[in-house]
Amino acid sequence: MTAKIVVVGSFNADLVAYLERMPRPGETVHGDRFATSAGGKGSNQAVAAARLGAEVTFIGRVGKDVFANLAYEIWDAEGINRDFVSTDADYATGVAPILVDSSGENMIVVVLGANSRLTAADIDAARERIAAADVLVTQLEINLDMAQYALETAKQLGVVTILNPAPAAAIPQSLIDLADYLTPNETELETLAGLAGDFAAAARSLLTRDGQTAVVTLGAQGAQIVSGAASAIVPTYAVDVVDTTGAGDAFNAGLAVALAEGKALEEAVRFANAAAALSVTKPGAAPSAPCRAEVDALYEGAR
């Protein structure tokens, strides 16, 4: 069965500088190299899901500029449906200057631009496509009203919803309530719950209805599933880290695809961990998203 995924989210042109170490405030350091690539959490997740074999539709907004061409090129190359991508005449395509140090850690500045101008009409135009989907995924790099509207639309149509609350931001509980699966990392969870240390307790404080699950990504430790009274950590895979940019996006794509294909939750998280682990072995965000054969090999080989 081919997974059908709708991603409502952002596209940003990633402007990546690789350097030995991060600069201190007011300091100028020399970089080793520079690259421009397609990014944005929404687009990254769409690309990663497509590479995992899903039929993917992207709903979003870009500007009338050269950076929009990066979006069209990668979506077309990956076979992603972009019929519901709008062009904004007044706002530029989103950009994300990124610094990556020699250990693979990163610092990112996101300028949302056209991403913040997504409208209900953009989402309504894709209503039939959403209804036919197995899973709808959204994040916080679009305006929050539209993230909520996308999730509301999916719930009305009986579609499973994933909310990746990234980048970290305080959001209304009404938005969280619409997520069947909430997928924060440690920082995002602390921002949402106001609690540090006990990930299970923090995640559980955000869940308000039966059938709702938090999957907290813990980097090298894997991911923690929190649902009702239950909690379980699913370990990840040992790999050589090159660049952690995009790991969370690969994880969310892997989770969406695995759930759409009918995998049980713990197995879906193992599959998502495999996708994320492989993504950090290569530089970049969308460029590092692994193909299905790679993920299957790691996932099946470790079982």
Buried b (16+ CB within 10 A) or exposed e, 229-254: eebeebebbeeeebbbbbbbbbbbbb
Q: Is the peptide bond before 167 cis (omega within 30 degrees of 0)?
A: yes
Q: Is 180 a catalytic residue?
A: no
Q: Write down the catalytic residue from 14, 122, 243, 249.
A: 249
Q: Judge contact between 201 and 240, C-beta under 8 A.
A: no
Q: How far apart are the first and last CA of the chain?
A: 22
DSSP β-ladder status, 12-19 and 94-100? parallel
For the chain, the residue count is 303
Catalytic residues: 249
